[in-house]
């Protein structure tokens, strides 16, 4: 996949590279031709890599002090907070890191939706990305159970009970997941084991995600295929590395803001009460990043139906590349889709909001409208708009509109600034 044969300069380097071509790989990553018009929405891949590594490093440290046992877990988390040197810092980075990870991944996903990065020939990158997203949700859910607070316990109860909706074998599956007749110590220990495993699975998928990306190369804001390398591209290093580093710095400032000034604002205070299987908290809510799906679950007045719809909301994204019929990738040149894109963004935000509210009255109505629209967007609007939309003229190359200063580009540019 390398664009040119790389030969190390030193004799030792050549000797090593002939046996294991790591230096060739490093050279490929350094010189990797990248579209020169990538905007800041493209910096979230690097930010997400940072998030994953942060979670792995802080997680390994926390596991040195945490005790995975129903009687000791809650106290061991308090021990980390009060006794362990800098334990409070490491735990707050880890717990807020999960939120920052999801914040970044949602921006990353919506960037892909706006610029059509999921479309041919990048379907596999998109699907691997969704698998990472699913594993992230599993890891976050299991991690939230580990402190063994009230929200941990009842969140685990509600989520594992989703599987009891499966006809015939549902109850057996739920008991198998628990290793007991309710969420109990065996559940906690296996969740800890899996919570430790999943980040490394994600790491493996990230390698595949980037590998698959490096076959066609990056999509870009105008969404056209470009020649590589050409005057439309710049080498990844130093052009993209420095831009990614700058964006990462800004991201870390927000991250640090949460860790140092509002470490509990994204959590739920009930999780500082130890798990009690006799009392359910008055109002169970998942972490903010799962709220839209929770709203979809609750919008259906039927147990199995709600569970099916909630999982469908995620799995429909896997067929997205084939639901979108438009030949043009970037929403910059798609005047109709562009508007529906923003309606979808608002729809997901509304679903997130009602997911945090009690499932009654106006919230239930909003949840139902939001759920119907969510599916409408993917099943009806995307395929139909692709056929009928009159797209704006697409430039032949990235350089062309810059050099000619055409009217089309001024529109594209305005749009880029807007989002």
179 lies in the site for other proteins, by CB under 8 A: yes
Q: State residue 184 phi and psi, 5-degree precision.
A: -155, -170
Exposed, middle or buried, 273 (CB in 10 Å: 0-12/13-18/19+)? Answer: middle
197-236 mask for other proteins (x: CB under 8 A)?
Answer: ----------------------------------------
* Residue selected from 101, 154, 333, 363 as contacting other proteins according to rule CB under 8 A: 154
Question: Is residue 161 involved in binding other proteins (CB under 8 A)?
Answer: yes
CA-nearest of 117, 140, 97 to 212 is: 117
Backbone dihedral region of 267: left (phi > 0), alpha (psi from -120 to 50 degrees) or beta?
beta
Q: Does 157 bind other proteins (CB under 8 A)?
A: yes
177 binds other proteins (CB under 8 A): yes
In the chain, % helix, strand, coil (3-state, to 5) comes to 70, 0, 30
Taking CB under 8 A as the rule, does residue 270 contact other proteins? no
Residue 123 burial class via C-beta count within 10 angstroms: exposed 0-12, middle 13-18, buried 19 and up? middle
| Nearer to other proteins (CB atom), residue 21 or residue 179 | 179
Whichever of 20 and 282 has its CB closer to other proteins, that residue is 282
Work out how close the CB of 305 gets to other proteins at its nearest, in angstroms, rounded to a whole number. 9
Any residues with CB less than 8 A from the CB of 349 and at least 6 apart, and which?
none
Stretch (H or E) spanning 234: strand 233-235
From candidates 51, 98, 139, 183, binder to other proteins by CB under 8 A: 183
Least distance CB 374 / other proteins (angstroms): 19
| Cα–chain center distance at 417 | 24
Q: How far is CA 358 from CA 130, 181, 302, in A?
A: 29, 28, 17
- The span from the CA of 133 to the CA of 338, in Å, is 24
Q: How far is the CB of 274 from other proteins (least distance, A)?
A: 15
Is residue 88 exposed (0-12), middle (13-18) or buried (19+ Cβ within 10 Å)? middle
Site size for other proteins (CB under 8 A): 37
Comparing CB distances to other proteins, the nearer of 271 and 326 is: 271
- Report 301-330 residues binding other proteins (CB under 8 A): 301-304, 306
Within 104-143, the residues that bind other proteins by CB under 8 A are: none
Closest to other proteins by CB, 298 vs 334, is 298
Position among 56, 131, 135, 162 found at the interface with other proteins (CB under 8 A): 162
In total, the chain counts a number of residues equal to 419
Which residues are CB-neighbours of 2 under 8 A, at least 6 positions away?
24, 27, 28
277 binds other proteins (CB under 8 A): yes
Q: Which of residues 280-299 bind other proteins (CB under 8 A)?
A: 280-284, 298
Instruction: Give CA separation, 112 vs 26, 118, 273, 341, 352, in Å.
Output: 26, 6, 40, 11, 20
Give yes or no for residue 388 binding other proteins (CB under 8 A).
no
Q: Report whether 294 contacts 358 (CB < 8 A).
A: no
Encoded tokens for 86: 């800098």
| Residue 184 makes contact with other proteins by CB under 8 A | yes
Contact between 278 and other proteins (CB under 8 A)? Answer: yes
Does 164 interact with other proteins (rule: CB under 8 A)?
yes
**Interface mask (CB under 8 A) for other proteins, residues 337-366, using x and -?**
---------------------xxx------
Site membership for other proteins, residue 300 (CB under 8 A): yes
Residue from 63, 81, 158, 205 that binds other proteins (CB under 8 A)?
A: 158
Give whichever of 155 and 267 is closer to other proteins, judged by the CB atom.
155
Question: Is 181 an interacting residue with respect to other proteins (CB under 8 A)?
Answer: yes
In degrees and rounded to multiples of 5, residue 66 shows phi and psi of -85, 145
Residues in contact with other proteins by CB under 8 A are 154, 157-158, 160-162, 164, 175-184, 186, 190, 277-284, 298, 300-304, 306, 358-360
């Amino acid at each position: 996949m390398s664009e040119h044969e790389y030969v190390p300069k030193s004799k030792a380097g050549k000797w090593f590279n002939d046996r294991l071509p790591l230096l060739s790989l490093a050279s490929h990553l350094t010189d990797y031709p990248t579209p020169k018009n990538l905007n800041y929405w493209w910096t979230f891949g690097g930010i997400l890599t940072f998030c994953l590594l942060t979670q792995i490093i802080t997680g390994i440290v926390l596991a040195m002090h945490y005790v995975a046992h129903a009687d000791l877990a809650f106290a061991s988390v308090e021990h980390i907070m009060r006794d362990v040197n800098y334990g409070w810092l490491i735990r707050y980075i880890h717990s807020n890191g999960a939120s920052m990870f999801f914040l970044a991944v949602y921006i990353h996903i919506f960037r892909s939706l706006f610029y059509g990065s999921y479309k041919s020939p990048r379907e596999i990158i998109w699907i691997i990305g969704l698998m990472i997203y699913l594993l992230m949700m599993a890891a976050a859910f299991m991690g939230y159970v580990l402190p063994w607070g009230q929200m941990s316990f009842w969140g685990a109860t509600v989520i594992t009970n989703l599987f009891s909706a499966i006809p015939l074998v549902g109850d057996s599956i739920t008991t198998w997941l628990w290793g007991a007749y309710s969420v109990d110590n065996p559940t906690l220990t296996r969740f800890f084991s899996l919570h430790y495993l999943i980040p490394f699975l994600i790491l493996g998928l990230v390698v595949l995600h980037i590998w698959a990306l490096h076959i066609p190369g990056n999509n870009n804001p105008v969404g056209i295929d470009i020649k590589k390398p050409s005057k439309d591209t710049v080498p990844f290093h130093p052009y993209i590395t420095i831009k990614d580093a700058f964006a990462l710095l800004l991201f870390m400032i927000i991250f640090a803001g949460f860790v140092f000034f509002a470490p509990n604002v994204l959590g739920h205070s009930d999780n500082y009460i130890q798990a009690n299987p006799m009392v359910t908290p008055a109002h169970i809510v998942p972490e903010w990043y799962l709220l839209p799906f929770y709203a979809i679950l609750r919008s259906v007045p039927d147990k199995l139906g709600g569970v099916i719809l909630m999982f469908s909301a995620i799995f429909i994204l896997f067929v997205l590349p084939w639901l979108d019929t438009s030949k043009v990738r970037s929403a910059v040149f798609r005047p109709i889709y562009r508007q529906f894109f923003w309606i979808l963004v608002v729809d997901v935000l509304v679903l997130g909001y009602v997911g945090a509210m009690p499932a009654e009255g106006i919230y239930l109505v909003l949840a139902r409208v939001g759920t119907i629209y969510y599916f409408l967007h993917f099943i009806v609007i995307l395929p139909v708009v692709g056929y009928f939309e009159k797209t704006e003229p697409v430039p032949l190359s990235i350089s062309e509109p810059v050099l000619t200063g055409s009217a089309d580009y001024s529109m594209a540019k305005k749009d880029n600034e807007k989002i």
